[in-house]
Every structure is written in C-alpha cells, then in structure tokens.
C-alpha cells in the first residue's frame, strides 16, 4: 500500500513543528526518517497514522484520505510502535502480542483461529516462542522490545511505523531488531517507515532516506547518495569520514563537532 503526505503542517502550543512536508512512501519499501532532535520526525510518524489529528494538509493511503478511512479501518492495515509504551506488570508476552489482534476482532468476539495463527507467527518471527508465558516485565530490554514488535506484527499490517525501535538497546540487540524488521519486509513486502538515530542503520537497512531539518524536508533519496559526510556536516553539524566494512557496506563515522 502506498502512503502519501501532502503539505503537512503541524503547530503545537503556538510552535510550528512541521511545515509543508510532502512525501510519498511506496509500497514494500523501507524508508528511514532521520534528522536532529526536535526536527519533527516523531510528529510526522504520528500524523501518518492519525495518532496526531491536529494537522493541516492531507495524508492518503492508496489515494484515500486517512481521515475518511478512520482509525478503526486504518488499524487493520497499519501498525505503529511508538517510543512511549507500557503494559500492566502481570502481562505475559502472549497476552501482549494478542493485543495486536484487537482491530480485527468482532465486537465481544473471542480469539479466532486466524488470531491464534497471527500471534503464533509473530512470536516465531521475533524468536519469542519460548518466552510466551513469561511476564513482559521480567524480560531483558532486547526481549521486551521484540515482544512489543511482535504485537505490531500480530496485526499483520501492510504498513509498519516504527519510532526509534533500537533506542536503549545494546549493539547486539539493535542488530537483532533491525534484522527482524528487514526479514518482515522481505517475507511480506510490508511497507516500513522508521525513525532512526543511527545513520549506518539508515544506510544499510533502508531503501530510501528522508531527512528532516528545520521543520521541512532537507533531502530524500537513496541512502548512499544522500547520507554523505557533507550531509552530516550540514544537518548534524559534525565532521565525518566513510569507509567500507568487511561486508562491503559503506559506513559513515562521525569524527567531531564542527562548531558551537
């Protein structure tokens, strides 16, 4: 499914957060949204799924205005994993993952066979089958993040929005989560839109990168073409160098802050 933002502007408390942002996210593609803190990345993500309805402009999904589609219908094809999330202390992993099926259930309906299969598949995809009866609160940071990701996957979304999915994770768990996201995209052609802080994750794990700076789109396109040392200097105010790693991936490495 294609998702498009047209002339999106957001003002919160009299402060302009986004200004005339237009971009088309193509079906089956992985798009990374990057930019300085406070640039409006998370705000754009919330607008795309109607978590924030206070915006001007239009967001369309396959040509239909999402305001007309409505949240309930939207949640059947789109899932979001926000930065802020919480669950009751006694919630088990399977219970948490099952929450992802709510948009598909009939009123007062119980768990269907389709629900059970979706939950099972989400647990398998995130390698959490052996943890399904564990309480979420007892998991490590990486395991907990995979559990929340599994909940979104249980929705079986056509479009998956992720807001900084690797925050607070160590390097190994960051790679684990990014590999799961890549696997979901590859197996199901799920459209992935993710806010990332790690520039190299954006370079390696995305098909397109959208850079937001000063409330607007600064640049967009193929990662290796726009994520350059020059770009990091202009957007993040840092000097950087590039090199090729053992996998043949070009890596960009920040060296120092350029100026105050």
- Residue ranges of domains in the chain: 3-77+157-257, 87-156
Decide: 1 and 191 in contact? Cβ < 8 Å: yes
Q: How many residues does the chain have?
A: 260
Report the alpha-carbon distance of residue 104 to residue 118 in Å, rounded: 11
The torsion defined by the Cα of 193, 32, 21 and 19, in degrees rounded to 10, comes to: 110
Name every residue whose Cβ is closer than 8 Å to that of residue 110 and which is 6 or more positions away in sequence: none
What CATH number labels 3-77+157-257? 3.40.50.300
Question: 3-class DSSP state for residue 253?
Answer: strand
Q: pLDDT tens digits, the chain, 260 residues: what are they?
A: 899 999 999 998 889 999 999 999 999 999 999 999 999 999 999 999 999 999 999 999 999 999 999 888 999 999 999 988 888 889 999 999 999 999 888 766 678 899 999 999 999 999 999 999 999 999 999 999 999 999 999 999 999 999 999 988 999 999 999 999 999 999 999 999 999 999 999 999 999 999 999 999 999 999 989 999 999 999 999 999 998 988 888 889 999 998 76
Buried b (16+ CB within 10 A) or exposed e, 138-160: ebeebbbbbbbbbbbbbbbbbbb
- Indicate the burial class of 182 (C-beta count within 10 angstroms; 0-12, 13-18, 19 or more): middle
Please report the pLDDT score of residue 145 as a whole number. Answer: 93
**Helix (H) / strand (E) containing 208:** strand 208-213
Decide: 229 and 254 in contact? Cβ < 8 Å: no
């Amino acid at each position: 499914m294609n998702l498009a933002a047209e002339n999106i502007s957001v003002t919160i408390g009299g402060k302009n957060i986004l200004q005339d942002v237009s971009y088309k996210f193509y079906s089956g593609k992985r798009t990374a949204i990057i930019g300085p803190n406070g640039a409006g990345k998370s705000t754009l993500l919330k607008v795309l799924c109607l978590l924030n309805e206070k915006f001007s402009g239009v967001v369309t999904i396959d040509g239909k205005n999402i305001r007309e589609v409505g949240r309930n219908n939207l949640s059947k094809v789109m899932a979001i994993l926000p930065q802020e999330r919480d669950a009751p202390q006694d919630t088990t992993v399977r219970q948490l993952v099952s929450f992802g099926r709510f948009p598909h259930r009939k009123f007062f309906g119980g768990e269907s066979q389709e629900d059970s299969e979706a939950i099972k598949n989400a647990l398998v995809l995130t390698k959490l089958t052996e943890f399904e009866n564990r309480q979420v609160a007892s998991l490590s940071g990486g395991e907990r993040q995979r559990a929340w990701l599994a909940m979104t996957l249980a929705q079986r979304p056509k479009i998956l929005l992720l807001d900084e999915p690797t925050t607070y994770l160590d390097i190994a768990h960051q790679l684990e989560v990014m590999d799961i996201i890549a696997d979901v995209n590859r197996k199901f052609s799920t459209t992935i839109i993710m806010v990332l802080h790690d520039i190299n994750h954006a370079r390696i794990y995305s098909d397109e990168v959208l850079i937001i700076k000063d409330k607007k789109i600064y640049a967009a396109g193929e990662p290796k073409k726009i994520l350059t040392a020059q770009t990091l200097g202009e957007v993040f105010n840092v000097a950087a160098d590039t090199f090729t790693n053992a996998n043949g991936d070009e890596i960009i490495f920040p060296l120092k802050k350029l100026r105050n």
